[in-house]
A and B are shown apart, each in its own frame.
Chain A
Amino acid sequence: MKTGFSVTLVESPTVPIIGVGEGTWPTLRSSLQKMGVSETEFFRHCNVAFKQGAKFARWTTGADDDAYYHPLMLPQGFTQVNLVPHWLCNEQGRSFCETVCPQGQLCDEGLAPKAITTPEYQAVANYAYHLDAGKFAAFLQQHCTQKLGVRHVLADVTQANQTEQGDIRSLVTPQAGEIAGDLYVDCTGNAALLLGKTLGVPFKDCSDVLFCDAALALQVPYDTPDEPMASHTISTAQPAGWIWDIGLPTRRGTGYVYSTRHTSDADAYDTLMRYLGPRHAKLTPRKISIRGGHRTTFWKNNCVAVGLAAGFLEPLESSAIVLTELSAKLIAEQMPANREVMDILAARFNDVTHYRWGRIIDFLKLHYVLTQRRDSAFWRDNIDPDTVPLRLKNLLHLWKYQPPWFFDEFDRLEEVFPAASYQYVLYGMNFRTEVDPSDNLGTGSIAMKLMNDNVSLTRQMRSQLPKNRDLVKRIVEYGLQTI
């Protein structure tokens, strides 16, 4: 990290924060640690619970018992041997996930991914968090201003002055006057005040690939304060989209993400209420418009967009916060020493960030394109080849004969979704790769050992790990040690 820089946050006192977005990636653990945040304090202030992945229900066939996990642990021995062909040749009625990693069973039993004796940020099973986005924003703001020396200015940006070359020279605010800087990070949300309005970078809509364009969000209370709390996000497919269900210590966050081309707001409301049950009928959901897509350039001149200002996609795989983290990290690590080298770094940033958005769109579409559901226009339209990005189409073709593995197409540092994620979704959704059993001979014994190791590791973890809610309660009460 470079020094000799100062950061000023100009925040509008009048624009409310979006306040949803409660799912994160394991990257948040290292991000928080790097920022010097105590994990215990984070749990105490942000209504945090553990997340060990996502369970996708009714996505494949729509049947009652149709569900699979996309866990956060890699398959056993992932860097040594690809277990996919070994599992395919000997499925024995066991899912891919349960054959290669313990996390699905941990989620089934509502277990936490660590114990109270596990130090801060360390895991027994890889994990991320579910959190209260509003509380998290306030917590980070306080940490950054009090401990990291960020200057916080409450003011509305009404205008951005530019140089002749188009660089932003200063921001004009009625409350704090003119504020000047060398690099402007546009975090103005959907408005994209600097990158979009001032610098004129257009927005690339992706609703031709991902149809969902609205959400009805609703926070629902638990029936009792001790009700079990799922340690995974539950995503349940619906006639025109899907419902998220996230367990926080004090409440559940739920919402129906849907396509307004395929259903009406009234029907969407009925669908959400059917999912939640009659006891929540008095609650009123909040409607949020989703404009899926991203800016065509993320860093132009001396302005780089992060967060919603860069773009947004339906929250199917919690990609919003992780993209913000990755962008912030890249900016911090590549902080230009001066204006002359900024364009070189900007080009690099744009290249990486474009790649990431593209891969996330591919990965989200993968969940839809593998469905066998034909019960509504939404699902039928989703498998229309014209809506599938070419790169994904080619990969799906390739994967019919060769299962994905870690150097296969996924060679970038910090790939948002590694090949393991593709494996979990593909084989969780009944995709099958043709494999020749004789190809497995060379790695047969090590694969057998890894699968047996997984059985004993699963048994061991199930006997040692506490319940998700129980551990969160203990962390708030006693705290985690740093060692």
Chain B
Amino acid sequence: MSNIVVLDSLSHRKLRVHAQPALQYGDNQRFVAVVVNEFPILSLHYPILFSKDADTGQFYCGAMLGFDAGENLFLDEHRAQRLYRPLNLQRGPFFTAGSDLAVDLEHPRVAPSGDQALFDEAGAPTVYLQSIMGLMRDLRPGLERSRIFIDTLLSLNLIEPMTIEARFDDGSNREVTGLYTVNRERLQELADAAVVDLFRRGYLQLVYLMLASLKHVPTLAQKKNDLFLPGGESRASGLA
């Protein structure tokens, strides 16, 4: 259940939030939705792919964080702030409602024991809340830009399904389906005018960032495989 209300400094003056990465607070996602403005930094560490929304069937962009349901192999790095954490994880219990910021009061991150206050004694937004307002300014237009990017690729027939297969040292296999990427051959065959259009709109760069980011899939598999090695088990059980 959720209870999303517009945030205001009077009724939510005392509200506190658990801001740190934690599985039980919603970081347990093997594939998290991202927006195109994040691609340059995401592509340094994560495979960026497309998937379909289970409720609408519409495509969205996402970063792959793990192989199994609920598995986030980057949790340690996120906790230590060594790696960029996707905006959709950073935003925690916050949403936008029109131009307002809204909060889900039923979200597990919202609790009196939370490590971050939203407002100071005078009712001014804390640094934490200001950072949330800042990331929403990226996330909101980013969603619209991402949608147009996807629609453009779809209209050029450039998106194709892809299955990621991995074999691990404990003898198990994973086959991750429901993922999509850009078809390289059809990209090569595009007419010049379409290529120039993609370039001018910045989409060609996004496409190549996505394709390059696929190189992180083996790294991600290695990361998971390390959990099966001696010394990795305690971390593996921590993820379960």
Contacts and interface: CB of A to CB of B under 8 A. Distances in A.
A480 interface: yes
B84 interface: no
Contacts of A220: none
Contact of A116 (B54, B160, B180): B54
B56 interface: yes
Interface residues on A, range: 10 to 19
Nearest to A116: B57
A478 B180 contact: no
Interface in B52-71: 52-59
Nearest to A475: B57
B57 A481 contact: yes
A483 interface: yes
A479 B58 CA distance: 8
A162 interface: no
Interface in B122-175: 154, 159-161
Contacts of B114: none
A478 B161 contact: no
Nearest to B52: A117
B223 to A, nearest CB: 27
A83 B53 CA distance: 38
A458 B55 CA distance: 22
Contacts of B52: 116-117, 481
A474 interface: yes
A474 B161 contact: no
Contacts of A479: 57
A483 B160 contact: yes
A6 B46 CA distance: 54
B202 interface: no
A115 B52 CA distance: 11
Interface string A117-146: 100000000000000000000000000000
B59 A481 contact: yes
Interface in B28-64: 52-59
Interface residues of B, number: 14
A142 B208 CA distance: 41
A386 to B, nearest CB: 55
A474 B57 contact: yes
B57 A483 contact: no
A483 B55 contact: no
Contact of A478 (B58, B154, B160): B58
A115 B57 CA distance: 8
A116 B56 contact: yes
Main SS of chain A's interface residues?
A: loop
B55 A116 contact: yes
Contacts of A115: 54, 57
B178 interface: yes
Interface string A91-123: 000000000000000000000000111000000
A382 B71 CA distance: 62
A474 B56 contact: yes
A117 B161 contact: no
B77 to A, nearest CB: 30
B56 A483 contact: no
Contacts of B54: 115-117
Given A474-B56, A474-B57, A478-B56, A483 B178 contact: no
B69 to A, nearest CB: 13
B157 to A, nearest CB: 8
A80 B53 CA distance: 37
Contacts of A482: 154
A480 B56 CA distance: 9
A117 B54 CA distance: 6
A115 B55 CA distance: 9
A483 B182 CA distance: 12
B180 A483 contact: yes
B57 A480 contact: yes
Contacts of A480: 57
A474 B180 contact: no
A29 to B, nearest CB: 18
Contacts of A478: 56-58
A480 B52 CA distance: 10
A480 B154 CA distance: 12
Interface string A192-235: 00000000000000000000000000000000000000000000
A479 B54 CA distance: 13
B55 A474 contact: yes
Nearest to A40: B57
A38 to B, nearest CB: 13
A219 to B, nearest CB: 30
Contacts of B178: 117
Contacts of A116: 52, 54-57
Contacts of B160: 483
Given A117-B52, A117-B178, A483 B161 contact: yes
**Which 8 A-B pairs rank lowest in CB-CB distance, beginning with the nearest?**
A116-B57, A117-B52, A478-B56, A117-B57, A478-B57, A481-B57, A478-B58, A483-B159
17 contacts: A116-B55, A116-B56, A116-B57, A117-B53, A117-B57, A117-B178, A474-B56, A477-B56, A478-B56, A479-B57, A481-B58, A481-B154, A482-B154, A483-B159, A483-B160, A483-B161, A483-B180
